[in-house]
Structure 1
Amino acid sequence: MIRFICVATFLILFLILSIPVFGIEWIIGKFSPEKRDYSSLRIVQWGFKRILAITGVEITVIGEERVPDEPVLFIGNHRSFFDILITYSRCKRLTGYVAKKEMEKIPLLSTWMRYVYCLFLDRENIREGLKTILQGIEYLKKGISICIFPEGTRNKGEELTLLPFKDGALKMAEKTGCAIVPMSLNNTAEIFENHFPRITKTHVVLEYGEPIYPGKLDKETRKHLGRYCQQVIDETIHKNAEILKKEA
C-alpha cells in the first residue's frame, strides 16, 4: 500500500503544481508553439518516469531502434493503466495517445492531455469516432505520431490473450501511408491491476516490432490488417513470456 499512497500523492501534487505551469506553457506557445509542444512532452514524461520509479518496475526494452524517425502509428496490447506511462515515457517525438472520451472530464489531467495532442474517442458515437480518426490523420500529416490500443479497451482476461483488434483503429496509417509500429507488452497488469489496490515491484517487457507499412502489404493482408497486426503482437508476447518464465 505504501507505493500506492506515494504514487497517488505524487500525482495529486503534480496536477496541482501544474496550474501555474499551464500559464507558462500558454505564454511559450504564443511565441513558439513548437517549444511549447516539446516542453509539455518532456514535463509529462518526467512525471511518468517519477511514477514508474516509485513503483520500482524493471523494464526490459527490445527493438527500440526499429522505430523510424518519422511520424508513425503506435499500436499495442492493453492490460494496464501503466501501459501508457511505460510507452509514453519513451517517445522521442510528439505523440498523441487515443483515450476514451471519459478522460476529457478529469480536471487538470485533461489539460495536459490536450497539450500533448491526445485524442478523446467516443466509443458509443460512430460519427464522433470518425471525427477523432480524421483528427489523428491530420496530426500524422503534421508530423505528430499517434498511439492507439486496437483492442478498444483494457483487456482483463488471461495474461497471454488478446481481444480482437479493431480495423478502424488502423485507418490512420492506411490513409496517411505512415508505418504501424507494434508495441508488445508483457506483465504490466502485475504492477497494479492484478492485486488492486497494491502496487508491486515487478518486471515487464516492452518490445517494438518491425514497422509495418500497409501500402507494402498484399491486398488480402491489407483487407484484414487488424488480424495481421494482432498476430504479430500475439506471437511477440508469447515469445517474451519465456523471458519472464525463466525468472520465476
Structure 2
Amino acid sequence: MIRFVCIVIFLALYLTLTIPVLAVEWVIGKFNPYARDISSLRIVQWAFRLIMKMAGVKATVIGEENVPDEPVLYIGNHRSYFDILLTYSRCRRLTGYVAKKEMERYLTLTTWMKRLHCLFLDRSNPKEGLKTILEAIEDIKNGISICIFPEGTRNKGDELTMLPFKDGAFKIATKTGCAIIPVSMNNTAEIFESHMPWVKKTHVVIEYGKPIYPDQLDKETKKHIGDYVHNIIQETIKKNAELV
C-alpha cells in the first residue's frame, strides 16, 4: 500500500506545484512553441520515470532501435494505466496520445495532456471520433508522432489475449504514409490492475516492432491492416511471455 500512497501524494503535488510551470511555459510558447513543447515532454517524462521508480517497475526493452527518427504511429496493446507511463517516458520525439474524452475533466492533468498534443476521443460520437482522427493526421504531417491503443479500452482478459482493434486508428497511417510501430507489452497489469489498490514491484517486457509502411504492403494486407498489426502484436506478446 505504501507504493500506492507515495504515487498518489506525488501526483497531487505534481499537479499542484507545476501550475506555475504551465504559466511559464505558456509565455515561452508565445516566442518559441517548439521549445515549450520539448520542455513539457521532458518534464512529464521525468515525472513518469519517477513514478515507475516508486512503483518498482523494471522493464526489459527490445527493438527500440526500430523506431525511425520521423513522426510515426505507435500501436500498442493496453492492459494498464502504466502502459502510458512506460511508453511515453521512452519517446524521443514529440508524441501525442489519443485518450478517452472523459479524461478532459481533470483540470491540470488535462492542461498538461493538451500541452503534449494529446487528443481526446469521444467513443460515443462517430462524427467527433472522425474529427479526432483528422487532428491526428495533421499532427503527423506537422512532425508529431501519435500513440493509440486500438483495443479502445483496457483489456481485462487473459494476459496473452487481445481485444479486436478499432480500424479507424489506422487511417492516421494510411492517409499520411507514416510508419506504424507495433508496441507489445507483457505483464503491465501486474503493476496495479491485477491487485488494486496495491502497487507491486513488477518486471515488464516492451518490444518495439519493425516499422510498417502502409504503402509498402500489398493491396489485401493494406485493406486489413488492423488485423495485420494485431497479429504481429499478439504473436510478440506470446513470444515474450517467457521473459517475464
Alignment TM-score, normalising by the size of structure 2: 0.99
Q: Which residue of 2 aligns with 1:202?
A: 202
Q: Which residue of 2 aligns with 1:226?
A: 226
Per-residue deviation, 1:54: 0.2
Letter in 2 for 1:165: F
Q: In structure 2, the residue corresponding to 1:44 is in which secondary structure?
A: helix
The alignment status of 1:174 with 2:174, answered yes or no, reads yes
Q: Which residue of 2 aligns with 1:61?
A: 61
Off by >6 Å, runs of 4+ in structure 1: none
Measured in 2, the distance between the counterparts of 1:50 and 1:243 equals 24
Q: Which residue of 2 aligns with 1:132?
A: 132
Letter in 2 for 1:192: F
1:170-226 Cα distance to aligned partner (Å, 9 max, x none): 100000000000000000000000000000001000000000001100111111111
% of aligned pairs identical? 69
Q: In structure 1, the residue corresponding to 2:52 is in which secondary structure?
A: helix
Per-residue deviation, 1:167: 1.2
Quote the RMSD (CA, aligned, Å): 0.5
Q: Which residue of 1 aligns with 2:212?
A: 212
Q: Which residue of 1 aligns with 2:152?
A: 152
Measured in 1, the distance between the counterparts of 2:243 and 2:94 equals 31
Q: In structure 2, the residue corresponding to 1:176 is in which secondary structure?
A: coil
Measured in 2, the distance between the counterparts of 1:208 and 1:166 equals 20
Letter in 2 for 1:95: T
Measured in 2, the distance between the counterparts of 1:107 and 1:27 equals 19
Q: Which residue of 2 aligns with 1:235?
A: 235
Pairs within 5 Å for 1:34-183 = 34-183=34-183
Q: Which runs of 5+ in 1 are unaligned?
A: none
Alignment TM-score, normalising by the size of structure 1: 0.98
Q: In structure 2, the residue corresponding to 1:78 is in which secondary structure?
A: coil
Per-residue deviation, 1:155: 0.4
Letter in 2 for 1:208: Y
